[in-house]
Chains A and B, each alone.
Chain A
Amino acid sequence: MSNTIKTSIKTMGFCGPCSASEPAEVDVKDGRIVRIRPFDYQSSAGGEPLARWSIKARGHEFKAAEKSEITPFALATKHRVYSPNRILYPMKRADWDPKGRRNPQNRGKSKYVRISWDEATQLIADEVRRVHERYGVNSIFVQSDGHHQVKTLHGPRGCEGALLDALGGYCLQARNPDSWEGWYWGAKHIWGCDPVGEGDQQNLFYDVAQNTDTVLFWGCDVVTTPWGWGGHFPSRYCFFLRDIGVRQIYICPDVNYGAAVHADKWIPVLPNTDAALQLAIAHTWIKEGTYDRKYLDTHAVGFDWFEYHARGGDDGIEKTPEWAEGVCGVPARIIKALARSWAKQNVSIAHGNGGSYIRSTYSHEPARFEVALLGMQALGHPGRNQLKMMEYQLFSLPQQTPIPRSRFIPNLFSVLLPYAADQRDSLVPETLVPEALAGDYTHEKPLTWYGCTVAGVPVEDQFRPLQYPAEGSERIHMVWIDSPKWTSSWNGGYCYIEALHSDLIECVVAQHIWMEDDCLLADIILPVNTKFEERDINCDIMSGNYNTLVLEEQSVEPLGESKSDWECAVAVAEKLGVADELTGGASLEDKMRIGFENSGVQDYLSFEEFLEKKSYIVPPAEGWEDDPAGFYGFYIDPQANPLTTPSGLIEYYSSRLAEEFPDDEERKPYPRWIEKGETHPDERLGAERAKRYPYLLVSNHPHWRLHSQLDDCAWFREIKTCKVAGPDGYAYEPVWVNPADAKHLGLASGDVVKIYNDRGWTMGGVYVTERIRPGAVLQDHGARMDPIELGVSDRGGTNNLIAPKAIASKNCAGEVTSGYLVGVEKVDVFELARQYPEAFSRPYDPETGPLHIVDAWLDNVQV
């Protein structure tokens, strides 16, 4: 039977082009995917012995794997190909008439009719021309959001932008540092560390294995976030750490999925109060003299400012462990024990992005405090660094990986769309989109902010004042989105819905694989392929084991009338007469060859050999063991190996922040405990508002989704931590409640609750568990929106809809999507169904959840 199976290779991670991960072998029979298997590195080595690196430490060995370490996400992605929510043909909102009434107020309410590709592309082309003529090119807004698969030649990420550039330009939704907020806005000012503010990683897996006693997994889940950006590799490393006796302490409000199996100890801190815990640790060290003062003399500036704050010199609050206990919920004795244990050992701190630690109000402070603490214990000393458990070789930079160095990092930059490094003036950061779309801003009274034009650029970008509308440009009147996920993944989704109801926004085009999220708000929808339906080439640099260039052959034929994002753009370009300008006359096969010839692999293999072998595995570099680990060079000689701060040293007081933002009371030149500020006056448990909304919501990267992708996977939805079945048979997004809080609220597992604040409400299925500490409730982000009263309430558990709209702090346009106040209240779902009969009677599939196309959003009157 196997002889009828055809196998192709696909990378299954979700990061982005040139940052793929998790190569897998896809078996296809009779045009359907049979199964998805790990990629066999050994047999793909082409008969040569596979060159595997090996870390030996304390009598054990950790080696590069023989096959890829794919996660359940990879298997579920097969499931998604055949999802009932696939968009299979172009559609138009039934009551959107470009020649008559456009009815923007009905976006998200009215249904769709099927149209032909010819009609869809003509409609879009006509709208593009009309907007260009009437307002100018920058009145078309391109949102390339994060709800995508990783493709190179086929997009998504900005294919429509490339088309619009062929016509003169557009306004860009700028990629803000969503994954790294606090590091970006905070840590960069204390230790430099472009591109994103996290520390140098070089050779740290080796260093930790050799030298570290304890790793603090601070707000880090090694068994969740890496699933989307690398696979099981980090978890396997943590098992190795256990084997060699490295203690793993988790500091977070929840027993996250990493803590559940890897933690030797859990210190449950209240969400977004880590800064208080950190200050109390510093206070203990200062009081007991257990920090490295000599190191600070030579490696740091401005420590006296930090010390002054810790002692309460500026605000009258001495940051004792007893004070911190009242703020962060960790007993003072445990804080002191942690401080003393740390001071005696080699401690590194591990991260995996996301969560309340780094994505809440004033996230720049815990990030800066972490660096401050690492500095007090001689950052860069063997065994004392900041360790990343994912995003290896981020932005293709060799110092961004803790794994034994690869001989080279292959790339496909030569054929990438410019989106990833776009720095045009006409832009709006992701976090301010609703304001830009519908806010009352003019050239005289513009929307203003500082940076960030694109995540990953040098820190100076944060001092760049920007405004909308850009000078010489009209405001936005048309939106073209690929991979939409604003409502489910950004800050204050209800405001986005409200903005799209504005008369100012005359046309919204969405192109996507599935009818989810913001697709429901579009006027024209284009059907997009999954990657299995496309032929492409990809660089896996984030799996950890090896760097691999992969030929991704087409596995199955496109479903329905779907096209790739690139083909969508070309189809519209043809209508506009600019197809040649868009493609440059190159076919996709030409582009693949160009990409290959500039990838770095061309020195080892011809293009023809690559097409035959289908992959190239880059061997580890010779002598990687001798690479200095992390900040070791700086530790040894800070003058010869300076940081990228102005002084080259750790800046406990940032003179640059003092110069650039002398009046910023929120992000001062030195990190502080911020109970409240002008941007977020009442988002903490101590606020008056907390009487109405008494819990801090932890909203991590979802364990059973990738942002809002995969939410309809039947194979996940029957796992008890994925969904909670309500008495009405609807699978609600779980909300974790500690038994003590559940008792107070009169809740039991399986109850359905409203999760609310003054920004609206969503819902959840109660999961009473000791995995969340009292005072906090947990609901992952990214569940598919299922509107009840559009813009007010939601059944899906899409909690980003009620996240704070305000940015991280006054001059930091970051998101606040975790660690904010909510109330939780039991509801009677049958009563709600009576109250909202339409929303509660939409077609629903018990296996996959709400059916967004079949019946629910498609008008029966089809063309």
Chain B
Amino acid sequence: MKVFIVDIDKCNGCYGCQVACKDEHVGNVWEPYSLPQPNTGHFWMRVKEREHGQVPKVRVEYTPWPCMHCDDPKCAAAAPDAVYRRDDGLVIIDPVRAKGRRELVDACPYDAVFYNEELDVAQKCTGCAHLVDEGKLPHCVDLCATGGLRFGDEEEFAEEIARAETFVPEPGCRPRVYYLNLPHLFLAGDVWDPAENEIVEGASVTLTLPDGSTRQTATDDFGDFSFRRIDEGVYSLFIEVDGFEPVERRDIDLRESLNLGDFPLTRN
């Protein structure tokens, strides 16, 4: 059974996969799997882009987002006659039977099905089944130079799948696209001594998570601290270091990654 592995830590956000999908499918018919993709507006492989943080602690998260080739696809439930699952797990919208079947677009909880107005047909990622049949990789995977996007048999990726996350927008979704190293959110800041106009290295920073557990770190040689891979919720932060009054910040309502800014400490 085929799976996609997406390693966010190896993705440089080039959109090569999104563009490769167009290269492969715009103007090309791959019978019996797909009719041509429109030049624009369809993203059978989409790159989602999200900015995290505020100056000067800013990162960009890119998430390649194809059809999830679900074990139990919602699109197939909506139109069983127009959607089928191959023996290798790739989910195919039949380009003949999906004529006029707009309901397929709404059926997909991943927004991965698109409607081709010109050809009057629902379309999506085929996993480049026409290439897989020849023992080749999907074009988007073939084009990925950094190892961010991989494709193959479930068995060969057992280790990755064991530590991967998936997106499950609705109960019952059983996607076959596995994500490694999703960044989630971060909380960051920096600590300094205004009396000397110097950063403070080695300050102990303790974060209390919404569930009451704590994480602890120390400021680095720029006075920076950060807590990565945390999720939405209400947090509190405690900073202490010898020679200074401790600082506490409560009720940090984290919805997006946040640079808390600078923490000037007062000498005691």
Residues of A within 8 A of B (CB): 1-2, 32, 34-38, 65, 69-72, 75-76, 78, 223, 227, 231-233, 235-236, 239, 242, 255, 257, 260-263, 265-268, 322, 332-334, 336-338, 340-341, 714-721, 738, 769-771, 773-774, 847
CA distance A664 to B28 in the complex (A): 62
Q: Is the CB of A255 within 8 A of B60?
A: yes
A-side contacts of B40, CB under 8 Å: 714-715, 717-718, 847
Q: How many A-B residue pairs have CB under 8 A?
A: 135
Contact of B245 with A by CB under 8 A: no
Contact of B130 with A by CB under 8 A: yes
| A-side interface mostly | mixed
In the assembled complex, how far is the CB of residue A21 from the closest CB belonging to chain B, in whole angstroms?
13
CA distance A235 to B145 in the complex (A): 9
Contact of B41 with A by CB under 8 A: yes
- Among A38, A322, A332, A770, find the residue whose CB has the most chain B CB atoms closer than 10 A: A770
Cβ-closest 5 pairs across A and B = A69-B145, A260-B60, A232-B145, A72-B19, A75-B23
In the assembled complex, how far is the CB of residue A815 from the closest CB belonging to chain B, in whole angstroms?
28
Question: How many residues on chain B are close to A (CB under 8 Å)?
Answer: 49
Docked complex: B85-132 residues within 8 A CB-CB of A: 130
A34-B28, A266-B56, A770-B51 given as contacts; is B15 within 8 A of A72 (CB)? Answer: yes
B-side contacts of A236, CB under 8 Å: 145-146
A-side contacts of B146, CB under 8 Å: 232, 235-236, 239
Instruction: With CB as the reference atom, state the residue of chain B lying closest to A242.
Output: B9
Q: Is the CB of A261 within 8 A of B60?
A: yes
B-side contacts of A231, CB under 8 Å: 145
B-side contacts of A336, CB under 8 Å: 198-199
In the assembled complex, how far is the CB of residue A530 from the closest CB belonging to chain B, in whole angstroms?
16
Q: Is the CB of B12 within 8 A of A338?
A: no
In the assembled complex, how far is the CB of residue A332 from the closest CB belonging to chain B, in whole angstroms?
6
A35-B24, A35-B139 given as contacts; is B14 within 8 A of A72 (CB)? Answer: yes
Q: Is the CB of B23 within 8 A of A36?
A: yes
In the assembled complex, how far is the CB of residue A810 from the closest CB belonging to chain B, in whole angstroms?
35
A75's partner among B9, B20, B28, B49 (CB-CB below 8 A) is B20
Q: Is the CB of A239 within 8 A of B10?
A: yes
Docked complex: B127-165 residues within 8 A CB-CB of A: 130, 134, 139, 142-143, 145-147
Interface string of B29-43 (1 = CB under 8 A from A): 010000000011100
A1-B130, A770-B54 given as contacts; is B19 within 8 A of A333 (CB)? Answer: no
- Among A227, A255, A773, A774, find the residue whose CB has the most chain B CB atoms closer than 10 A: A255
Q: Is the CB of A718 within 8 A of B41?
A: yes
Instruction: With CB as the reference atom, state the residue of chain A lying closest to B17.
Output: A72
Q: Is the CB of B23 within 8 A of A338?
A: no
B-side contacts of A35, CB under 8 Å: 23-24, 28, 139
CA distance A32 to B221 in the complex (A): 57
In the assembled complex, how far is the CB of residue B137 from the closest CB belonging to chain A, in whole angstroms?
10
Docked complex: B43-58 residues within 8 A CB-CB of A: 47, 49, 51, 53-58
Q: Is the CB of B142 within 8 A of A38?
A: yes
In the assembled complex, how far is the CB of residue B46 from the closest CB belonging to chain A, in whole angstroms?
10
CA distance A236 to B12 in the complex (A): 9
CA distance A267 to B23 in the complex (A): 38
CA distance A159 to B151 in the complex (A): 46
A239-B10, A333-B198 given as contacts; is B145 within 8 A of A70 (CB)? Answer: yes
Contact of B66 with A by CB under 8 A: no
CA distance A255 to B259 in the complex (A): 15
B55's partner among A232, A334, A719, A774 (CB-CB below 8 A) is A774
Q: Is the CB of B199 within 8 A of A337?
A: yes
Q: Is the CB of B22 within 8 A of A715?
A: yes
In the assembled complex, how far is the CB of residue B129 from the closest CB belonging to chain A, in whole angstroms?
13
Q: Is the CB of A771 within 8 A of B51?
A: yes
In the assembled complex, how far is the CB of residue A743 from the closest CB belonging to chain B, in whole angstroms?
13
Contact of B186 with A by CB under 8 A: no
CA distance A326 to B242 in the complex (A): 31
B-side contacts of A232, CB under 8 Å: 12, 14, 16, 145-146
CA distance A715 to B46 in the complex (A): 12
Instruction: With CB as the reference atom, state the residue of chain A lying closest to B60.
Output: A260
CA distance A70 to B47 in the complex (A): 18
In the assembled complex, how far is the CB of residue A63 from the closest CB belonging to chain B, in whole angstroms?
12
Contact of B13 with A by CB under 8 A: yes
22 chain-A/chain-B pairs, Cβ below 8 angstroms: A2-B134, A35-B23, A69-B145, A71-B14, A223-B12, A223-B13, A232-B146, A236-B145, A239-B146, A239-B147, A255-B59, A260-B13, A261-B12, A262-B12, A267-B56, A333-B198, A334-B222, A338-B222, A341-B222, A715-B18, A715-B19, A773-B56
A770's partner among B11, B47, B58, B130 (CB-CB below 8 A) is B58
Contact of B27 with A by CB under 8 A: yes
B-side contacts of A847, CB under 8 Å: 39-40
A71-B16, A847-B40 given as contacts; is B199 within 8 A of A721 (CB)? Answer: no
A333's partner among B20, B30, B197 (CB-CB below 8 A) is B197
A-side contacts of B19, CB under 8 Å: 72, 75-76, 715-716
A37-B139, A261-B60, A262-B12 given as contacts; is B27 within 8 A of A32 (CB)? Answer: yes
CA distance A337 to B199 in the complex (A): 7
Instruction: With CB as the reference atom, state the residue of chain A lying closest to B192.
Output: A333
B199's partner among A322, A334, A773 (CB-CB below 8 A) is A334
In the assembled complex, how far is the CB of residue B200 from the closest CB belonging to chain A, in whole angstroms?
9
Instruction: With CB as the reference atom, state the residue of chain A lying closest to B196.
Output: A333
CA distance A1 to B31 in the complex (A): 9
Contact of B223 with A by CB under 8 A: yes
B-side contacts of A233, CB under 8 Å: 145
Contact of B62 with A by CB under 8 A: yes
A268's partner among B53, B56, B130, B223 (CB-CB below 8 A) is B56
In the assembled complex, how far is the CB of residue A489 from the closest CB belonging to chain B, in whole angstroms?
23
Docked complex: B212-265 residues within 8 A CB-CB of A: 221-224
CA distance A374 to B9 in the complex (A): 31
CA distance A71 to B26 in the complex (A): 18
Q: Is the CB of A261 within 8 A of B13?
A: yes
B-side contacts of A721, CB under 8 Å: 49
Q: Is the CB of A337 within 8 A of B23?
A: no
A232-B14, A268-B56 given as contacts; is B143 within 8 A of A38 (CB)? Answer: yes
Q: Is the CB of A265 within 8 A of B58?
A: no
In the assembled complex, how far is the CB of residue B34 from the closest CB belonging to chain A, in whole angstroms?
13
Q: Is the CB of A235 within 8 A of B139?
A: no
B-side contacts of A717, CB under 8 Å: 40
Known: A235-B12, A255-B59, A720-B49. 7 other contacts (CB 8 A): A35-B23, A37-B143, A69-B145, A255-B60, A260-B13, A262-B12, A774-B55
In the assembled complex, how far is the CB of residue B130 from the closest CB belonging to chain A, in whole angstroms?
7
CA distance A549 to B190 in the complex (A): 51
Q: Is the CB of B16 within 8 A of A257?
A: no
CA distance A488 to B36 in the complex (A): 35
CA distance A773 to B18 in the complex (A): 29
Q: Is the CB of B223 within 8 A of A770?
A: no
